Amino acid sequence: MSAPQNGIFTREEIEAREERSLAPYGMRSRESHGRRFPEPEHAYRTAFQRDRDRIVHSSAFRRLEYKTQVFVNHEGDHFRTRLTHEMEVAQISRTVARALGLNEDLCEALALIHDLGHTPFGHAGQDAMQELMKDHGGFEHNLQSLRIVETLERRYPDFPGLNLTWEVRESILKHKVKRDQPLPDEYRPDWAPLLEAQVVDLADSIAYDHHDVDDSLPAGFITEEDLAEVELWRIASAEVAKRYPGIDGKTARRQKVRFLIDLAVTDLIRTTAGSLRAQKIASIDDVRTAKSAVAGFSKEMEARKGELQVFLNARVYRHHRVLRMQERAKRFLRDIFHEYVRNPGQLPPEFQSWAREAGTERAVCDYIAGMTDRFAQEEYLKFFQPFERV
Ligand code: MG
């Protein structure tokens, strides 16, 4: 590629480069349906690059650093948090996107946003909020991500939220999830998600399968002997023993996890490339109207991943220490919620005015869902420990 005129590639040039480098079914920034509140385009960043940057600069994103993925943040400094999980999903998604000719910037934005709406304390927090909001409009983390980027983040004078492109907002809502309410018409429920969104969904599962194995071993929840009942682990062990005869311990474990991620990513790329050909996908329109998902794993990999997930479910996600943490988290999120609802005057001023606009329960839910684990714990102490500073 030759040097740009005046030393800088303009947005128009970067968009033209997308035209040349993306596959015909990759989403071009130039073809975005745009933002809800029109804004002038940037001099040298595409629409999806800007979306990604807005997400990274949001306060909800920074708070992911102190939100539990599976292992509570204070249990150890090496465990994944929501933030590092999202970074792993972004990295895997970008690899897949680049190999398949999809839009890497869009993938990155979607990966970095996909868990933004999660409560403190992982899934326990979500369960608690679902139960508490049952009669007040419900709670679901994808919808909460959308609320954050459309309403709750306040940093621009001209509009609430981050004013992200339509494609990013659509993809948040179409993130794989069991949903009881239909999608709003505005988000074209009849359209299949973009390939970039499909890839991020699958990269999410690759990331958590493997980092949960990688975190559970040093946490002492499982041993390598336990994992030997999982076929993928046996394959990885055999491969690592072959590549590096005689290694064991931490390095061997890390090599096995590394090999497993590579195996899953390679399978995803190859299988997706195969179904692009089989389903004759040649444009974004073809992606939108495809009868079944285009991105995916092979049947064999599906089965093996399924087996690993059953194992993780039984041995890690329902481990007595995880359950105890979850029950405790639910209990104190419930107590904080009821205390704020009983007297909303205890909310910070901006959430008091938000309560007048959105309703007390919804505002309390937004406030609690945005908390980090440690902030929620401190709130609990301030409410219920008589000598805690308030
Ligand atoms: Mg995730």
> Model confidence over 313-339: pLDDT tens digits?
999 888 888 888 889 889 989 999 999
What integer pLDDT is reported at residue 72 of this predicted model? 64
Q: What is the pLDDT of residues 263-313, one digit of tens each?
A: 999 999 999 999 999 999 999 999 999 999 999 999 999 999 999 999 999
- Residue 317 DSSP symbol: I
> Rounded to the nearest whole angstrom, what is the distance from the C-alpha of residue 85 to the centroid of ligand 1?
7
What integer pLDDT is reported at residue 70 of this predicted model? 74
Cα separation, 227 vs 202, whole angstroms: 22
Nearest to 201 by CA among 289, 82, 115: 115
pLDDT of 76 strictly over 80: no
> Rounded to the nearest whole angstrom, what is the distance from the C-alpha of residue 87 to the centroid of ligand 1?
10
Q: What is the pLDDT of residues 131-177, one digit of tens each?
A: 999 999 999 999 999 999 999 999 999 999 999 999 999 999 988 65
What integer pLDDT is reported at residue 325 of this predicted model? 86
> Rounded to the nearest whole angstrom, what is the distance from the C-alpha of residue 345 to the centroid of ligand 1?
34
> Rounded to the nearest whole angstrom, what is the distance from the C-alpha of residue 81 to the centroid of ligand 1?
10
What integer pLDDT is reported at residue 218 of this predicted model? 87
Q: What letter represents residue 236's amino acid?
A: A
The residue ranking higher by pLDDT, 69 or 92, is 92
> Rounded to the nearest whole angstrom, what is the distance from the C-alpha of residue 213 to the centroid of ligand 1?
15
> Rounded to the nearest whole angstrom, what is the distance from the C-alpha of residue 19 to the centroid of ligand 1?
30
What integer pLDDT is reported at residue 79 of this predicted model? 81
> Rounded to the nearest whole angstrom, what is the distance from the C-alpha of residue 116 to the centroid of ligand 1?
9
Cα separation, 121 vs 316, whole angstroms: 15
> Rounded to the nearest whole angstrom, what is the distance from the C-alpha of residue 30 to the centroid of ligand 1?
28
> Rounded to the nearest whole angstrom, what is the distance from the C-alpha of residue 6 to the centroid of ligand 1?
41
> Rounded to the nearest whole angstrom, what is the distance from the C-alpha of residue 114 to the centroid of ligand 1?
6
> Rounded to the nearest whole angstrom, what is the distance from the C-alpha of residue 204 to the centroid of ligand 1?
5
> Rounded to the nearest whole angstrom, what is the distance from the C-alpha of residue 165 to the centroid of ligand 1?
21
What integer pLDDT is reported at residue 389 of this predicted model? 77
pLDDT of 217 strictly over 80: yes
> Rounded to the nearest whole angstrom, what is the distance from the C-alpha of residue 374 to the centroid of ligand 1?
20
> Rounded to the nearest whole angstrom, what is the distance from the C-alpha of residue 124 to the centroid of ligand 1?
15
The tally of CA atoms less than 13 A away on the side-chain side of residue 388 is: 11
Asked if residue 36 lies in contact with residue 25, where contact means CB atoms within 8 angstroms, the answer is: no
For the chain, list the domains and their CATH numbers. Answer: 11-36+44-322 (1.10.3210.10), 323-384 (no CATH)
> Rounded to the nearest whole angstrom, what is the distance from the C-alpha of residue 236 to the centroid of ligand 1?
24
> Rounded to the nearest whole angstrom, what is the distance from the C-alpha of residue 248 to the centroid of ligand 1?
30
